[in-house]
């Protein structure tokens, strides 16, 4: 076989190879899109949310229907991380808050929350929590909204107080934690 024939054969082989991988890549992309759409549909069903952009953000942040309950505990996690680290007392307070919310060890939501107590979640998660709460509150009466805020912010304040001051001489809630608590409260404003 001469060099030109070998070159033509090699070119055809590379073209077939590119076509194969292009087709496989397109197939993989389609599977990923379908899976992502299924995740958004399951989130919509589990949460009752209809905001497509919010569902998209939650799915992109790794929130699934089976871990949606962990999203409701973001305030506890954010308060515990307010000073840049989470100590053992804060971590224990977050996990107590999870237990009082009905999250059981061994569930996907509890597992995700456990990860967030060890590694600070991305700031986008707090933004998504704000959107989630605003969307949820849109369908509540002012009294229901206040009850929800009191419940969530009460648990968050308990986490803030967990690390506490020293012998009552120092404020139990740090300025950083207080700032986070104020930010969280803003999500409940009408």
Number of domains in the chain: 1
Could you read off the pLDDT of 42-94 as tens digits, one per residue?
A: 878 777 777 788 888 888 888 888 888 888 899 999 999 999 999 899 999 99
CATH code: domain of residue 158? 1.10.3680
Could you read off the pLDDT of 3-57 as tens digits, one per residue?
A: 777 777 667 767 666 665 666 566 556 555 557 688 788 878 777 777 788 888 8
Alpha-helical segments (H) within the chain: 3-47, 52-60, 68-71, 74-80, 88-100, 108-118, 123-137, 142-162, 175-186
113 within domain boundaries: yes
38 within domain boundaries: no
- Residue 42 and residue 68 in contact, taking contact as beta carbons nearer than 8 Å: no
120 within domain boundaries: yes
Q: Which residue has the tokens 């020293």?
A: 166
Could you read off the pLDDT of 166-189 as tens digits, one per residue?
A: 444 455 888 899 999 999 999 998
Distance of CA 71 to the CA centre of its chain: 6
- Alpha-carbon gap, residue 184 to 62, rounded angstroms: 21
64 within domain boundaries: yes
12 within domain boundaries: no
Query: Which structural domain, as residue segments, surrounds residue 118?
Result: 50-186
33 within domain boundaries: no
151 within domain boundaries: yes
Confidence class for position 115, pLDDT limits 50, 70, 90: very high
- Alpha-carbon gap, residue 83 to 99, rounded angstroms: 24
């Amino acid at each position: 076989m001469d060099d030109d024939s070998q070159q033509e054969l090699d070119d055809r082989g590379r073209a077939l190879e590119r076509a194969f991988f292009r087709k496989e890549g397109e197939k993989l992309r389609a599977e990923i899109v379908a899976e992502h759409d299924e995740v958004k549909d399951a989130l919509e069903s589990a949460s009752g949310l209809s905001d497509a952009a919010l569902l998209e953000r939650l799915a992109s942040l790794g929130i699934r229907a089976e871990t949606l309950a962990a999203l409701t505990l973001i305030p506890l996690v954010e308060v515990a991380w307010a000073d840049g680290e989470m100590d053992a007392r804060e971590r224990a307070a977050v996990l107590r808050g999870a237990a009082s919310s009905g999250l059981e060890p061994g569930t996907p939501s509890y597992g995700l929350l456990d990860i967030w107590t060890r590694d600070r979640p991305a700031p986008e998660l707090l933004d998504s929590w704000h959107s989630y709460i605003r969307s949820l509150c849109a369908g509540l009466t002012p009294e229901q909204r206040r009850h929800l805020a009191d419940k969530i912010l009460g648990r968050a304040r308990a986490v803030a107080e967990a690390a506490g001051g020293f012998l009552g001489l120092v404020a139990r809630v740090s300025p950083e934690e207080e700032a986070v608590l104020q930010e969280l409260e803003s999500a409940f404003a009408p």
